[in-house]
Amino acid sequence: MKAIFPGSFDPVTLGHVEIIRRGAAMAGELLVAVLVNPDKQGLFTPQKRVELLKDACGDLPGVSFMIYNGLLADLARETGVRLVIRGVRTSADLDAESAMARANARLLPGLETALLPASPQASDISSSLVRQIASLGGDVSPFLPPGAARALNEMYRQKKASK
């Protein structure tokens, strides 16, 4: 079976890598889709996010990557995939993810979402938290794959230098 793991991945964290690993093992084939939010100016370009994803888990069997502009339900319709995988860390995540899953199923009847509980090690990691830590000069290496940590540190070094 093929599944989609959609997200912003700005940048990929060790929490995402865990879900990619488990999702691919569970589904057999996993399409990791960087969904572009037109209302949100991301830190990394979608292309760079895919590059960092590939660097972190491009060697996992059955895993592929893409960028998509639009609704997740439309991506599922276009690819014929009917299973979405998302990770949940907290009860707040569970509420938000359940609402998203219901909306997606309304948009495309038959589109299922499987929610994977994050492991304790990954439960406190979020891209927004690591962006903040990096912007204030903190060490993000416990939270990110090495390539993403380097790219994030470099991004904030450049931002600081250009101020």
Nearest distance in Å: CB 3, ligand PNS: 13
Active-site residue flag, 40: yes
Catalytic residue among 49, 86, 89, 131: 89
Distance, CA of 5 to CA of 14 (rounded, Å): 15
Active-site residue flag, 49: no
Distance, CA of 84 to CA of 68 (rounded, Å): 15
Catalytic residue among 8, 16, 22, 49: 16
Nearest distance in Å: CB 149, ligand PNS: 18
Strand partners, 25: none
Catalytic residue among 40, 91, 162, 163: 40
**Residue 46 is a binding residue for ligand PNS (CB under 6 A):** no
Nearest distance in Å: CB 92, ligand PNS: 12
Longest dimension (CA), the chain: 50
Residue (of 127, 62, 53) closest to 89 by Cα position: 127
**Residue 23 is a binding residue for ligand PNS (CB under 6 A):** no
Q: Which residues contact 141 (CB under 8 A, 6 or more apart)?
A: 149
DSSP 119: P
Distance, CA of 145 to CA of 88 (rounded, Å): 19
Q: By CB under 6 A, what part of segment 64-123 binds ligand PNS?
A: 71-73, 100, 103-104
Active-site residue flag, 163: no
Q: Which residues contribute to the site for ligand PNS (CB under 6 A)? A: 6-8, 35, 71-73, 100, 103-104
User: Which residues are designated catalytic?
Assistant: 16, 40, 89, 127
